[in-house]
Chains A and B, each alone.
Chain A
Amino acid sequence: GDSVTQMEGPVTLSEEACLTINCTYTATGYPSLFWYVQYPGEGLQLLLKATKADDKGSNKGFEATYRKETTSFHLEKGSVQVSDSAVYFCARGSWGKFQFGAGTQVVVTP
């Protein structure tokens, strides 16, 4: 079946470091791709999305590009802050069938 694979965490980095979280997806159909973020004690919040190949989603300094040739949707941020500490989920979706990755915990230290 369809699935999403993302790198395991936790990822620990210092403030102002660069962050990349790898995500690959199964290419069945024409899925939309999403990154969600979950802060402690909260539900998931949509961070960014891309609906077709070569689209770039961006929000709050985070970016991800829909790469059809590599079936990837890696999340990047050039300079992280302590407030970016959270769990990040990659997801693919089409017709209500969403598949989420296992989540990657990111810890940013001052």
Chain B
Amino acid sequence: ETGVTQTPRHLVMGMTNKKSLKCEQHLGHNAMYWYKQSAKKPLELMFVYNFKEQTENNSVPSRFSPECPNSSHLFLHLHTLQPEDSALYLCASSPGLEDEQFFGPGTRLTVL
């Protein structure tokens, strides 16, 4: 596979469930990002990782827990979410922090 892949593409979960979103980039990039895209709202940056180290947490609630085991993989662990967390979650990567970002197709999350 090439580019940035995300799994699953769609996820429906209850408020008491625990699930994880996975992102993988095949571009040899060093930086990875999680974004939240809600209807009628600007794209929200959630987390930034550079060389596996978290460089930014944009005041994200603790029910979202990121993990970056290596520069190619990024996870977003979800637990006790709220219905307002329903959104499209986008992963992106870039060669470095100053470079353009390449996006995955997103995971459409619905919290019931």
Contacts and interface: CB of A to CB of B under 8 A. Distances in A.
A6 to B, nearest CB: 10
B100 A102 contact: no
A88 interface: no
B68 to A, nearest CB: 14
Given A43-B4, A96-B50, A96-B55, A49 B100 contact: yes
A18 to B, nearest CB: 26
Interface of B: 4, 6, 31, 33, 41-43, 45, 48, 50, 55-56, 90, 92, 94, 97-98, 100-106
Could you tell me the dominant secondary structure of chain B's interface residues? strand
A99 to B, nearest CB: 8
A45 B103 contact: yes
B42 A43 contact: no
B102 A95 contact: no
Interface of A: 32, 34, 36, 41-46, 49, 89, 93-98, 100-103
B100 A43 contact: no
Given A89-B43, A96-B55, A100-B42, A43 B90 contact: yes
B71 to A, nearest CB: 14
Chain A CB count within 10 A is highest, among B4, B41, B55, B103, for B103
A2 to B, nearest CB: 12
Task: Report which residue of A32, A36, A42, A43 has the largest number of chain B beta carbons within 10 angstroms of its beta carbon.
Answer: A43
A97 to B, nearest CB: 8
